[in-house]
Amino acid sequence: MSLAKRIIPCLDVRDGRVVKGVQFVNIKDAGDPVEVAKRYDDEGADEITFLDITASHEGRDTLIHMVEAIADQVFIPLTVGGGIRKSEDVRTMLNAGADKVAVNSAAIFNPNLINQLSEEFGSQCIVIAIDAKKVADNKWEIFTHGGRKSTGIDAVEWALKMTKGDHGAGEVLLTSMDCDGVKTGFDLALTKAVTGAVSVPVIASGGVGNLAHLSEGILQGGADAVLAASIFHFGEYTVQQAKQAMQENGIEVRL
């Protein structure tokens, strides 16, 4: 008996509602975030991640109230990402009840940001979110703007750089932009390349369409946690079913 692999349902949130799109377009409504979070908590989710895809300031305030409302009722780790650019954003989210914040594009524009945030808040609450897209065999680059804009940065090197040293990020949230929403499984080669390179835990994300995909992310990709959205949102599977399937594949889970 030792550390369990984690299942993390992810809520993409826009203007206070859970939404889900395919490759960041064709957005569908998936419910009230507080209700959805409570349901996942009841089903045995190990953590919950919220990714805010709201652009407006009004939406930002809605998100803060939403995190507060969820943290009042759900006593498992909560991660919030989307629009985290500076120390003040991190503090606001932690004060609202988040336990970790995921930093994505802001780290690309300011490569020192992760170091600053980890030093201030502790690396345990700073997650580096990486959106990677395949550009050649066994080569992935970091993309921004919902996968439309390449930065030319190598994803594996970036993951290493952002997690190195005493003030690196404490965790990597790795999303394959090619697989996100497509439901054909994780990009296992990408997952394996990153989990093999970094010394911190890696959450595999993007592409889960059935329960077997979750186990693949752990067993073949080497991930420490798996993140999925649509298979849970629309009632296809419960988190409990997902955990049972993983356990049947010999993976240690919290049941």
Out of 49, 54, 92, 123, name the contact with other proteins by CB under 8 A: 123
Binding status of residue 46 toward other proteins by CB under 8 A: yes
Nearest to 49 by CA among 98, 104, 87: 98
Told to check if 75 binds other proteins by CB under 8 A, we report yes
User: In DSSP terms, which residues pair with 175 in a beta bridge?
Assistant: 131, 205
Active site residues: 12, 131
Question: Hey, what amino acid is at 113?
Answer: L
Any residues with CB less than 8 A from the CB of 179 and at least 6 apart, and which?
Answer: 185, 186, 187, 206, 207
38 vs 85, beta carbon nearer other proteins: 38
Q: Minimum CB separation from other proteins for residue 171, in Å? A: 7
Residues in 54-73 at the binding interface with other proteins, rule: CB under 8 A = 71-72
240/223 Cα distance (integer angstroms): 19
Pattern 142-181, other proteins, x by CB under 8 A: ----------------------------xx----------
DSSP letter assigned to residue 141: E
Binding residue for other proteins, selected from 21, 31, 59, 77, defined by CB under 8 A: 77
Q: Which is nearer to other proteins, 177 or 203 (CB)?
A: 203
Q: Which of 52, 112, 40 is nearest to 84 (CA)?
A: 52
Backbone angles phi, psi at 40, to 5 degrees: -65, -35
- What does each C-alpha distance from 244 to 9, 152, 238 come to in angstroms? 15, 40, 10
Which region, judged by CB under 8 A, interacts with other proteins, from 51-59, 95-103, 179-187, 210-218? 95-103
Of positions 52, 131, 187, 224, contacts other proteins by CB under 8 A: 224
d(CA 88, CA 93): 9
Q: Is residue 112 involved in binding other proteins (CB under 8 A)?
A: no
Residues found near other proteins in the complex (CB under 8 A): 1-6, 41, 46, 71-72, 75-77, 94-99, 120-125, 170-171, 199-202, 224-225, 254
